């Protein structure tokens, strides 16, 4: 049965969201069943909490579109049916109503300028990607065009075209990002701020977060505030407890914990992101939070030595999850509680097995941060067992 109210015109061809024709309630049941099966496979007696859901439309705060030359310049997402083909996106119902206006303006501008498009086989050409980020609570837009450095972008005209397209002062920053790398991923080799502020600001609960064009931030902010608050509530943290937020990003999770904890230490590999995290702690008047720039494993094995007295370890790693070396180092650190969340259920369960020798949990809770896609976030609280 189709959800006739809202199905994107690109559904069926666009590889962005695959489940739009499945009513949202059924999507949630399918996701719960997937986690239920994973729990059964491992034979664990743990409770599956009901999946937390979000508004399935216009929830994402970021999209990364690709340019292609398909007779004309197109910009959109890769086709799920034809390898290498880009679906020329005109609307994006999981993202923003402004996306179609921005996409049209950038495509018209690029066609008028007769820009070439980067070809990943010949490594020639100019246009690569278009990044759009939208805050959901503060009504701001950040736009970044990604090109190679083989020619100049007509910067002034690009900015003026964009500012004319969105008329309500919603655009807070416009970037030109140069990426000459051979990788398919967007690499932010050089960031030129063409207009506005370096950062945009999002508000989650009582906190404000500065975010850069290339820093990680939960893609579904309307769900994130409740998710972070739940994390705090589950741990029952008190003012005599020390918290370590191991992959802290711009500090979001740790900042939610800081009013209740004695101290929060954030560890993050990127110096740029730590600088933003420090600013986020400052603008939220957080006085008990410190940050260390370090690879997580290196921190646990070497730099972490003076920070042994950890009551709660928070782990929200990249999609790939934890390496065996990190899980071994975590066991040596020996925190009483581990709050673990991941956007990759397979990596999440694999890592739980590694920690199972010393830790137990009695629940897993899925969060549907990514409606219409197979993805979801899983959360659990692990408690140290007496060995």
Ligand X SMILES: C[S@@+](CC[C@H](N)C(=O)[O-])C[C@H]1O[C@@H](n2cnc3c(N)ncnc32)[C@H](O)[C@@H]1O
Q: 337-342 and 312-315 as β-strands: parallel, antiparallel, unpaired? A: parallel
Under rule CB under 6 A, residue 16 binds ligand X: no
Give the separation between CA 335 and CA 344, rounded to whole angstroms.
Answer: 23
Q: Which of 273, 322, 337, 378 binds ligand X (CB under 6 A)?
A: 273
Handedness of CA 324, 326, 328, 334 (dihedral sign): negative
- Residue 287 CB coordination number (10 Å): 8
Q: Which of 270, 279, 284, 301 binds ligand X (CB under 6 A)?
A: 270
Smallest gap from Cβ 292 to ligand X, in A, equals 10
Under rule CB under 6 A, residue 248 binds ligand X: yes
Q: Which of 15, 155, 295, 328 binds ligand X (CB under 6 A)?
A: 295
Under rule CB under 6 A, residue 296 binds ligand X: yes
Smallest gap from Cβ 14 to ligand X, in A, equals 25
Point out the catalytic residue in the list 75, 92, 248, 343: 343
The site string for ligand X over 206-235 (x = CB under 6 A, - otherwise) reads ----------xxx-----------------
DSSP string for residues in 68-82:
EESSSEEEEEEBSSS
Handedness of CA 88, 60, 278, 341 (dihedral sign): negative
Subset of 166-185 contacting ligand X (CB under 6 A): none
Under rule CB under 6 A, residue 135 binds ligand X: no
How many Cα atoms within 13 Å fall on the side-chain side of residue 109?
24
Under rule CB under 6 A, residue 268 binds ligand X: yes
Q: Which of residues 106 and 253 has its CB atom nearest to ligand X in the complex?
A: 253
337 beta partners? 312, 383
367 beta partners? 52, 377
Of 211, 237, 356, nearest to 245 (Cα)? 237
Smallest gap from Cβ 145 to ligand X, in A, equals 23
Q: Which of residues 66 and 252 has its CB atom nearest to ligand X in the complex?
A: 252
Of 36-44, 109-117, 182-190, 249-257, which segment contacts ligand X by CB under 6 A? 249-257
Q: 47-48 and 289-293 as β-strands: parallel, antiparallel, unpaired? A: unpaired
Q: Which of residues 20 and 344 has its CB atom nearest to ligand X in the complex?
A: 344
343 an active-site residue? yes
Under rule CB under 6 A, residue 307 binds ligand X: no
* Neighbouring residues of 32: CB distance < 8 A, sequence distance ≥ 6: 48, 50, 51, 366
Q: Which of 247, 256, 257, 349 binds ligand X (CB under 6 A)?
A: 247
Smallest gap from Cβ 277 to ligand X, in A, equals 9
Q: Which of residues 57 and 234 has its CB atom nearest to ligand X in the complex?
A: 234
Smallest gap from Cβ 324 to ligand X, in A, equals 14
Handedness of CA 122, 126, 132, 133 (dihedral sign): positive
136 beta partners? none
Handedness of CA 211, 212, 216, 219 (dihedral sign): positive
Task: Outline where the chain has alpha helix (H).
Answer: 24-42, 99-113, 155-165, 221-235, 252-257, 271-283, 296-298, 324-333, 345-356
Contact 197, 213 (CB under 8 A): no
Q: Which of 269, 275, 328, 331 binds ligand X (CB under 6 A)?
A: 269
Under rule CB under 6 A, residue 202 binds ligand X: no
Q: Which of residues 106 and 378 has its CB atom nearest to ligand X in the complex?
A: 378
Smallest gap from Cβ 252 to ligand X, in A, equals 4
Which residue's C-beta sits nearest to ligand X? 249
Smallest gap from Cβ 62 to ligand X, in A, equals 12
* Packing angle, helices 324-333 and 345-356, rounded to 10: 50
Which residues form the catalytic set? Answer: 343
Q: Which residues bind ligand X (CB under 6 A)?
A: 216-218, 247-250, 252-253, 267-270, 273, 295-296, 316-318
């Amino acid at each position: 049965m189709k959800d006739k109210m809202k199905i994107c015109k690109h559904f069926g061809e666009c590889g962005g969201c695959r489940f739009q024709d499945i009513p949202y309630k059924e999507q949630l049941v399918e996701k719960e069943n997937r986690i239920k099966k994973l729990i059964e496979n491992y034979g664990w007696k743990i409770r599956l909490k009901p999946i937390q859901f979000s508004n399935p439309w216009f929830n994402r705060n970021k999209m990364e579109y690709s340019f292609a030359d398909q007779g004309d310049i197109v910009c959109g997402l890769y086709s799920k049916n034809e390898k290498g083909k880009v679906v020329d996106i005109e609307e994006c119902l999981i993202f923003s109503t402004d996306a179609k206006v921005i996409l049209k303006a950038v495509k018209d501008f690029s066609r008028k300028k007769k820009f070439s498009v980067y070809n990943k086989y010949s490594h020639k050409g100019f246009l690569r990607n278009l990044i759009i980020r939208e805050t959901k609570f503060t009504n701001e837009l950040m736009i970044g065009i990604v090109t190679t450095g083989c020619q100049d972008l007509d910067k002034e005209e690009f900015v003026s075209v964009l500012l004319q397209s969105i008329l309500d002062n919603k655009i807070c920053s416009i970037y030109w990002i140069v990426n000459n790398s051979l990788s398919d991923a967007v690499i932010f080799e050089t960031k030129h701020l063409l207009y506005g502020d370096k950062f945009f600001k999002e508000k989650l609960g009582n906190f404000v977060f500065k975010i850069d064009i290339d820093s990680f931030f939960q893609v579904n902010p309307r769900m994130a505030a409740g998710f972070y608050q739940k994390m705090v509530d589950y741990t029952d943290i008190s003012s005599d407890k020390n918290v370590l937020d191991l992959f802290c990003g711009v500090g979001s999770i740790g900042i939610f914990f800081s009013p209740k904890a004695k101290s929060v230490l954030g560890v993050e590999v990127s110096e740029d992101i730590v600088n933003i995290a420090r600013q986020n702690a400052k603008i939220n008047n957080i006085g008990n939070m410190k940050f260390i720039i370090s690879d997580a494993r290196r921190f646990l094995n070497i730099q972490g030595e003076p920070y042994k007295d950890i009551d709660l370890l928070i782990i929200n790693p990249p999609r790939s999850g934890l390496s065996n070396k990190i899980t071994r180092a975590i066991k040596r650190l020996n925190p009483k509680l581990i709050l673990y969340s991941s956007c990759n259920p397979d990596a999440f369960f694999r890592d739980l097995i590694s920690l199972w020798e010393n830790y137990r949990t009695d629940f897993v809770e899925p969060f549907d941060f990514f409606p219409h896609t197979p993805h979801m976030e899983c959360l659990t609280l692990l408690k140290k067992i007496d060995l």
